[in-house]
Chain A
Amino acid sequence: MLLAAVVSLTILGTVFGLLLGVAARYLRVEGNPLVAEIEQLLPGSQCGQCGYPGCTGAAQALAEGGAPVTLCPPGGRALAQALAAKLGVDADLSGVEDKGPMIAEVKEEICIGCTRCFKVCPTDAIMGAAQQIHVVFREACTACGKCVDACPTESVTLQPVPVTLQSWHWHKPQTGSAT
């Protein structure tokens, strides 16, 4: 009688142990899935302006609730809204200075071709060579500002993205109390 109990309990223990082991292997969750989702929203240029080591660090801090949704300057107001929606919090957007999309621009007259800016650019958006004037690819620039800090002659500045016929649209009507 005793033997039967011992044997059956051993078998049960082994089977459940195996099941748990298999489940742990195949159904494993790597980290907090929310972190990956938040990281998808962030610009991904690892500029570090938020004070966290890259976008992954910022995403982790956001997921744990340790950082405000307004932390990312390149993302601007649109990103703050998206993050607030994702995290289900009310965003206080009053503090977000929405300058609209910006872009780095090299002032050609004072560029000395030192190559420092394109070495720090996280998206390879600056082209140049030693003793040559550098130039910014507008499509690739995220306005992270790293090049502005690196430039010894202050020839790189952040400027609003120029409006073209393709990007122009009507402003929001100012109707006071209407509607």
Chain B
Amino acid sequence: MKLFDLRGGVHPEGRKDLSAECQIRSVPLPKTLYVPLQQHIGAPATPVVNVGDHVLKGQLIAHAQGAVSAPVHAPTSGVIAALGDHAAPHPSGLPVPTFTLESDGLDQWIALKGEDDPFTLSPEDVAARVAAAGIVGLGGATFPSALKLNLSRGVRTLIVNGGECEPYLTCDDRIMRERAVQIVEGIRLIAYAVAAQEVLVGIEDNKPEAIAAMQAAARGSAVQVIAMPSMYPMGSEKQIVQVLTGKEIPAGGRPADIGVLVHNVATAYAVQQAIRYGRPLISRIVTLSGGALKTPCNVETLVGTPVEELIAVAGGYAQPAARMVLGGPMMGQQFANTGVPVMKGTSGVLALTSKEIGQAEPSPCIRCSTCVRACPVGLLPLEMAAHIRASDLTGAVDLGLKDCIACGSCSYVCPAHIPLVHFFNYAKGDLAAQERAKLKQEATKKLAEARTERIARIERERAEAMAKRKAAREAKERAAKEAAAQAAKEAA
């Protein structure tokens, strides 16, 4: 099959050999799990159990709220010890509403309703079960998967993303090697749910074992496994679509706009587990890697497991970690508190040494335009950063800031070590804050108008009531006078 070229891109050192040969291990059941209510893009889930309740593994503990949301299930059996703030796995480290679950050590499943022949279900039913299982995009974006299925019904091409272009991460590589049959069934279920005519699985050619395993599992089905050249950011949604179909997603658009749906391989596995066995999404494969860890490896861990327990599974620190990262080193989020839990979207936990992060002081831009050549979207990172630095955010938006996928290629290649993506993330955050402020202003303006109107109405009603009372009093006086006159007349 003909592949199309990727614009820009970089070749960071892979470092996948640290953990690629390590089989997926299981993690000892943690005593305490921290399950945040929001592990997805959209509205946080609403709790349906109370503190003190005993829950079973897989039991619904918070249901989806609103159009874009996903439910949360208990990762193991035990008692809900608390529902309150716990540090989020996020660079800010801010507290978020989180269930604290004390496991009872039994790991006892709730009764599950699977399906022996899932292809007898209707496509809508498949999507509904995916929604009920709380499945979100496991590549890292954590967009509710069922919503994507419903919005993409009738697309031409289903692309399953096995790119895993981020250095260090090998969780998708391992799941494809070890669970290819289940993944292919999940892919066929997704294709069935959206009635896709063509199903492509894109895998970078630095994972030959995964390609072989997937090809063997896909033999005889409509699923085509395609080896793609290894280049960062090949595993980004927009880029994989471009390489496999030659079509570019329009600015601000979704893949469905050009008849494509993209899902991650791990999401396909979660879909298969949910439909065939009725298992909700309560665990995932996480890569533990980085030069600071003793034995980098891949683990299957329950959502809510504190990161420090995973670090213990990886043998602890071999040397001090200069930076802790959740996800990959290019797009992942740094964090400091190892008490934070693993969430549905956590693909990796990296403990990097100071040598690996290679921090350097930024120096002035020499306008070499290396970043322009590296940008996979075709933007001008140097110009955008210059505008943002001068607080001209509108200028940066005009240059295409909103199309930036924050892949980090520009920062990676910049010979002056300018934190370009940091500038873009700041600008995007600031623009979002301005947008929120504008919405709030519109709302408060309405409130102020409503109040002015109400006060005027009360004033008017009071005046009317007064006039009425006055009229009534006058009428009464008049009547009394007339009665008196009548009486006087009669007396006369």
Contact = CB atoms under 8 A, between A and B. Distances in A.
Nearest to A46: B448
B444 A123 contact: yes
A53 to B, nearest CB: 13
A115 interface: no
B364 A168 contact: no
Given A163-B92, A163-B94, A169-B430, A179 B445 contact: no
Interface in A134-179: 139-142, 163-165, 167-173, 175-179
B441 A43 contact: yes
A82 to B, nearest CB: 10
A51 interface: no
A13 interface: no
A166 B270 CA distance: 27
B426 A171 contact: yes
By secondary structure, the B interface counts as helix
By secondary structure, the A interface counts as loop
B362 A175 contact: yes
Given A168-B92, A168-B94, A178-B418, A46 B365 contact: no
Interface residues of B, number: 42
A173 B437 contact: no
Interface stretch (B1-9, B303-311, B382-390): B382-390
Interface in B427-451: 428-430, 432-434, 436-437, 440-441, 443-445, 447-451
B94 A164 contact: yes
A45 interface: yes
Contacts of A164: 94
A179 B440 CA distance: 34
Interface string B174-192: 0000000000000000000
A120 to B, nearest CB: 11
A43 B432 contact: no
A44 interface: yes
A141 B96 CA distance: 23
Contact of A44 (B385, B419, B422, B448): B448
A142 B437 CA distance: 10
Nearest to A177: B364
Given A123-B444, A125-B447, A173-B422, A179 B385 contact: yes
Interface string B381-418: 01001101100000000000000000000000000101
Nearest to A167: B433
A122 interface: yes
Interface in A39-55: 43-46
Contacts of A141: 444
Contacts of B92: 163, 165, 168
A167 B447 contact: no
Contacts of A142: 441, 444
Given A45-B445, A171-B426, 6 more contacts: A44-B445, A44-B448, A140-B443, A164-B94, A178-B365, A179-B386
